[in-house]
Amino acid sequence: MNINLGTYANPFTDFGFKKLFGQEDSKELLIDFLNSLLLQNNDKIVAINYLKNDNLGRTEDDRKAIFDIHCKTENDEFFIVEMQNAKQKFFKDRTIYYSTFPIQNQALKDSKKNGFVWSYELKSIYSVAIMDFKFDEYNPIQKVKHHIMLKDIEDNTIFYDKLQFIYLEMPNFNKEIEDLTTRYEKWLYILKNISQLQNLPLELEDDIFMKVFEKSKVSKYSKEELNEYQSSLKNLTDFVNSMNNAKDEGKILGIIEGKIEGKIEGKIEGKIEGKIEGEQNKAKQIALNAIKKGYDNQTIQDLTGLSVQEIIKIRKENI
C-alpha cells in the first residue's frame, strides 16, 4: 500500500515524535517547547540531558514514543520531564505506569556500599503527554491542557507537587494561525498542523521554528529514515482506522438500540425482551472484541453502553 508521506513528518508518529524531540540535535527545540509549556510553573530551562531509556518495563515501541529528560534551570535547580507521544489504549494507565520509572531510577542503589543512607528525597517529575485524540469526544468542554497533581479531595489543597501530569488534548486546539498570541499556542499549532502544510508560514518564521520545519522535512531523510517513517506512519494509520471502526460499531449498535426502544411502546413485552436480549448479546460481543484489541473500560462503555461492572465481568470470564 502506497502512503502519502507529505512534505513534513507527522509528529504523532513514533518516528516523527522522536525525530523532533528525542535526539541530541533536538535539544534546542525541546527546551523551547518545554519553556513555553512549563515556564509559568518553573524557572527557565537552560539545559537538558536525555536519560537512559532501557527499562525492562518498556517495550521497543514505547521506547520510541517515551523518553525522560533531566532538566537544569537558570537557578541551577533540576527536575525530570517525561515526554510521551500518548497512545489511545489505556492512555491514563500508561502515563501513570511509565512515570514510575523516573521515580525509581532516582534511588541511590549503592548507598550501603558507600556508607551513606538515601533520604528518599526526589526531584520533581513532570509527565507530558501529547495526545492526538480526546479524553471524551462527547464532552462539550473543549479544553486543551489538563494539569494534574495529587490533591486532598476534601479541601482541594495540593498534597504533593513533585509529581505532575500534563496532558495536551490536541484535537481541542482549533486556533487559526492569525489568532496565535503566545509561543505556547504557536507550538500547538505546529504540532497539530505541520504534517498538512507545504511550507513554513510567515507568522512562524523564527530560528527555532525554522529548525522544526527543517528537521521534519521528509525530503531530507535518508533511505533508512524514510522506510522507518513510512512504517511508523502506517502503524499510526492502522491504529486510527481500528479505533474508528470500533466507534462505528458502537454507533450502529446505538442506532439499533434506539429503534428497538421506539418499538417498545407498541410491541408485546415478551417479543421486546427477546430483541433486547439479542442486542445486549451484540453489545457484549463488541465489548469482547474491544477487550481483545486492548481498549480501556471507559472507551468500551462509550462504544457499547454496557456498565463498567458488566465489562469487568466479561474481562474476567475471558482471561
Look at residue 146 in the predicted model and tell me its pLDDT: 92
Concatenating the DSSP letter of every residue in the chain gives: ------SB--TTSHHHHHHHHSSGGGHHHHHHHHHHHHTTTSPPEEEEEEPP---TTS-HHHHHHEEEEEEEETTS-EEEEEEEE--STTHHHHHHHHHHHHHHTTS-TTTTTTT--------EEEEEEEESS-S-TT-S----EEEEEEE-TTT--EEEEEEEEEEEEGGG----GGG--SHHHHHHHHHHHGGG-SS--GGG-SHHHHHHHHHHBGGGS-HHHHHHHHHHHHHHHHHHHHHHHHHHHHHHHHHHHHHHHHHHTTS-HHHHHHHHHHHHHHHHHHHHHHHHTT--HHHHHHHH---HHHHHHHHHHT-
Look at residue 182 in the predicted model and tell me its pLDDT: 94
Please give the model's pTM, rounded to 2 decimal places. 0.70
Roughly what angle, to the nearest 10 degrees, separates helices 308-317 and 269-292?
Answer: 60
Look at residue 268 in the predicted model and tell me its pLDDT: 46
Question: Consecutive sets of 10 residues in the chain, 319 residues long: mean pLDDT of each?
Answer: 78 89 92 86 82 60 72 84 76 84 76 70 87 80 90 94 90 94 95 93 94 94 91 77 54 55 53 62 82 80 83 82
Q: Are 85 and 17 in contact (CB under 8 A)?
A: yes
Residue 48 φ/ψ, nearest 5 degrees: -135, 155
Q: Kindly give the pairing relationship between strand 78-85 and strand 66-73.
A: antiparallel
Look at residue 188 in the predicted model and tell me its pLDDT: 96
